[in-house]
Amino acid sequence: MARRLRILVSAYACSPTRGSEPGMGWGWVAALSRHHDLWVITEKEKFETEIRTELARRPELRERIRFLCIAHRRHKLLRMLWPPSYYWFLRRWHKKAYRLAQELHAEVGFDVVHQLNMVGFREPGYLWRLDAPFVWGPVGGMGLVPWRFLASLGLAGAIYHTARNLLNVLHRRLLTRPKRAARRSEGRLIAATSETAEAIARFFGQQSRVICEAGPPDCAPRSANIRAPGEPLRLVWSGLHVSRKALPLLLRALSRLPNNIEWLLDVLGEGPRTAAWKRLAQRLGVDERCRWHGWLPRDRAVEVMRGGHAFVITSLLDLTSTVLLEALALGVPVICLDHCGFADVVTPDCGLTVPVQSPRQVTADLAASIAHLWHDEPLRRRLAEGAPRRAQALSWEKRAEAVDAIYAAAVRRRPAAREERAEELSAVGSTI
């Protein structure tokens, strides 16, 4: 692009030291700042100190990104009693961010405004009301746990995810502000997954571009692990131990393997379902080959993953998952469900995917995939060699280039859109 654009970004969660949404927010703004000058509105109490420390360490970022921090009021007791109250307070934060954005826009005159995160579709913020091209995304959170799998999540998991599914069905149809923000994007919507893109088209009537929300870490792969003849196939699973992560699907698949297939499973993470999953492993007779590590320091967790012959993902409700991209970057092939954002990332060059039709079918197909890698070491090694190449294709720089193209198109279209926008603002009014 001929010149660096002035971009206003709303990134409620943004941290150079954390994972999940904060890490995703930082990854995006750091990558985009190589192309443009950014003003980033983020939450004050959680992230300001971490951001200041990183900027002191990396002065080049101070020339490209200006961070503006706004405090987020919280009510821990109300959140415990009624979890959806989180959105009440998040909406209040976005109202403050919008008022600050109005002042900044009057002073700076932004070329583009970008609602980056949180990723969930329920809260699009208010930047779309500004008189500037609006980009929203990556957008996620519109997926459901497949209905046939609810009974396999345990009683508490089934109740929770049935309620969540029903709430998502209602919100996708009835919430008006996300639909207005989607219309205001005028096609500049970024969907975190293909599943989300389909939902956006169906419920919001808008087209979107699929760009996964997470990016791979900076970690150099070693040469592909070679499994010696007769050596156990080392499998790795990682994540929070909650029902939607569905580790029991893998445990049941392992119990179905014939005795001549030797394997070991490293389980990283812990959570409310840890004890129940350990008991299930005992009942299935696979516990002696399972090593439960809990939460490890990052460097040790990376070494466990790097030492694996295959990384297995069983989650029934997710976007893309940073740990998936981390495994690929480390040169570890992936076995996963053909579902969520995994379906967009894992190709025949870096892993094996399993259709999602029923718990019994998934269990059988996971077992078949593991057996396939056990019997075909040349295939497993080829997938291991393709994994880092796939991670590189999904690097932060690659996705920044994709968003840069969206920005460029928005700026080219802006003169023709000003008159349309003036009429829209008049109809909407000025109050939040």
Q: Is residue 309 located within the same domain as residue 181?
A: no
Q: Which helix (H) or strand (E) holds 67?
A: strand 65-70
* DSSP-assigned beta bridge partners for residue 115: 10, 136
As to burial, measured by CB atoms within 10 angstroms (0-12 exposed, 13-18 middle, 19+ buried), residue 102 is middle
Same domain, 131 and 83: yes
Long-range contacts at 254-258 (CB < 8 A, ≥ 24 apart): 254/284, 254/286, 254/289, 254/367, 254/370, 255/284, 255/285, 255/286, 256/363, 256/364, 256/367, 257/367, 257/370, 257/371, 258/371
Q: What is the DSSP letter of 201?
A: I
User: Is residue 220 assigned to a domain?
Assistant: no
CATH code for the domain in which residue 56 is found: 3.40.50.2000
Residue type, 312: V
Q: How far, in Å, CA of 109 to CA of 111, rounded?
A: 7
Structural domain including 122 reads 6-140+175-215+396-428
The predicted pLDDT at position 429 comes to: 42
**In angstroms, rounded to a whole number, what is the distance separating the alpha carbons of residues 367 and 132?**
52
The count of domains in the chain is 2
Q: Answer for the pair 373, 380: CB distance below 8 angstroms, yes or no.
A: yes
Residue 168 lies in a domain: no
Same domain membership, residue 403 and residue 386: no
Taking the CA atoms of residue 150, residue 155, residue 157 and residue 160 in that order, the dihedral angle to the nearest 10 degrees is: 90
Q: Do 324 and 200 lie in a common domain?
A: no
Residues 273 and 306 in one domain: yes
Exposed, middle or buried, 360 (CB in 10 Å: 0-12/13-18/19+)?
A: exposed
* Same domain (yes/no): 249, 122: no
Question: Same structural domain for residues 184 and 303?
Answer: no
pLDDT (tens place) for every residue of the chain, 432 residues total: 458 999 999 999 999 998 889 999 999 999 999 999 999 999 999 999 999 999 999 999 999 999 999 998 776 665 666 666 678 889 999 999 999 999 999 999 999 999 999 999 999 999 999 999 999 999 999 999 999 999 999 999 999 999 999 999 999 999 999 999 999 999 999 999 999 999 999 999 999 999 999 988 876 656 778 888 889 999 999 999 999 999 999 999 999 999 999 999 999 999 999 999 999 999 999 999 999 999 999 889 999 999 999 999 999 999 998 899 999 999 999 999 999 999 999 999 999 999 999 999 999 999 999 999 999 999 999 999 999 999 999 999 999 999 999 999 999 877 655 545 545 544 544 334
Are 186 and 300 within one domain? no
Are 61 and 33 in contact, with CB atoms under 8 Å apart?
yes
d(CA 418, CA 429): 16
Is the residue at 412 inside a domain?
yes
Are 252 and 124 members of one domain? no
Regarding pTM above 0.85, the answer is: yes
Task: Report the pLDDT value the prediction gives residue 226, as an integer from 0 to 100.
Answer: 85
Q: Do 315 and 373 share a domain, yes or no? A: yes
